[in-house]
Amino acid sequence: MYSFNSLFSLLLTVQFAFSGVTTYDWKPSFNDEPVPQERLEAIDAALPDIALAVPDSPRKILIFSATAGFRHASIPTGKVALDQMGIKTGAYQALISDDPENFEIDVLKTFDAIVLLSPTLDFFMPSDKLREDFSDLQWNWLHARHKRLIANLVQFVHAGGGLVGIHAATDSCYEDEDYGDMIGGYFWGHPWSWRHNVTVLIEDSEHALIKPVFGDMSDFRIQDEIYQFKEEPYSREKLRVLLSLDVERSDEPMAKSPLRRTCGDYAISWVQSVGEGRVFYTSLGHNHHIYTDPLMLKHFLAGIQFATGDIEADTSPSASLGK
């Protein structure tokens, strides 16, 4: 599959070269609102002072947040918070970029982990709203490139790289089965909107990504948008679930977004091993204040340091533990 996509991309590139068309070099660009000063100050006050683990070597991560669908207003806030957290704690150095070229194999190898900060749909592609701006040839080339770069990311993780998915990273790449298996689940609506107050259960208080963050807490309350996930590929047979929703102690879900998971399993955060690599995902991160919350920033830091390889953590599937 990967070799076919690469060949298809090459053939389209040759066609562009002979046709004189150069827009195959399209790169995403977004007009995000700047982060206001008061929020910058709130981020600074919430940052952890030290890393949760001393890095074995200098770590470099990529923070990527391109969107082909809905674009969360909190993305700029998240970028600043994650970048500054690496600087203050010394846990990592971040490159913030939506340039697809960072997902070429040789460039991916320069990173210890990739952070997908609320990307949506086929995030290497333009939005469908822009379809008329491209010829069929251009659009097909971009789609082939998207498939190839996703394959590169999957290969990077399988070979030992790290991946962190935040919030809408599960609202992405629905047609790429390998991506879905790697991230661990696909968005299936959010019965609890950004206005809802919910109770989050801590499923394993002794886990290496939980203990340094939440201590002896068994649950916590938070206001954020909570996802439910499709029946597949999400599975406790594959994932180590760290956080989940306590439906009974949360606000009533919205009637327009019914509860589809009849099993009552509403996971929020998990880890898994993918090949030789490490994947951490959390659906928290819709609201701006998530990135000014000291507890949530440590939650993200734990996930990032797991992905870079500096925190060793058990990825045994929850089902194997009887949880």
CATH code, domain with 229: 3.40.50.880
Q: Are 322 and 178 in contact (CB under 8 A)?
A: no
Q: Taking the alpha carbons of 291, 273, 52, 202 in that order, is the dihedral positive or negative? A: positive
Cβ count within 10 A of residue 18 = 7
Distances (CA, A) of 1 to 61, 153, 178, 232: 27, 14, 11, 22
Domain with 278 in it: 2-321
Q: What's the first-to-final CA gap in the chain, in angstroms?
A: 36
Q: Locate 198 and state its tokens.
A: 């919910």
Question: What pLDDT, on a 0 to 100 scale, did the predictor assign at position 125?
Answer: 96
Contacts for 220-224 with beta carbons within 8 Å, 24 or more apart? 220/295, 221/197, 222/197, 222/198, 222/284, 222/290, 222/293, 222/296, 223/194, 223/195, 223/196, 223/197, 223/198, 223/287, 223/289, 224/194, 224/196, 224/198, 224/284, 224/285, 224/286, 224/287, 224/290
User: What is the DSSP code (8-state) at residue 208?
Assistant: T
Question: What pLDDT, on a 0 to 100 scale, did the predictor assign at position 189?
Answer: 83
Alpha-carbon dihedral of residues 226, 241, 172, 123, nearest 10 degrees? 110
Residues in the chain: 323
In whole angstroms, what is the distance from residue 188 CA to residue 172 CA? 11
- Which residue in the block uniquely carries the two structure tokens 């990135």? 291
- Which residue in the block uniquely carries the two structure tokens 């080339």? 141
Indicate the number of domains in the chain. 1
Q: Locate 284 and state its tokens.
A: 């928290």
Closest to 103 measured CA to CA, from 174, 69, 151: 151
- pLDDT of 15 higher than 60: no
Q: What does the pLDDT look like over 190-248, one tens digit per residue?
A: 887 888 899 999 999 999 999 999 999 999 999 999 999 999 999 999 999 999 999 88
Question: What pLDDT, on a 0 to 100 scale, did the predictor assign at position 1?
Answer: 40
Across 130-156, average pLDDT: 95
Across 52-56, average pLDDT: 96
Question: What pLDDT, on a 0 to 100 scale, did the predictor assign at position 4?
Answer: 41
Q: Are 193 and 219 in contact (CB under 8 A)?
A: no
Q: Are 48 and 297 in contact (CB under 8 A)?
A: yes
Closest to 119 measured CA to CA, from 285, 316, 255: 285
- Which pLDDT band, with edges at 50, 70 and 90, does 322 fall under? low
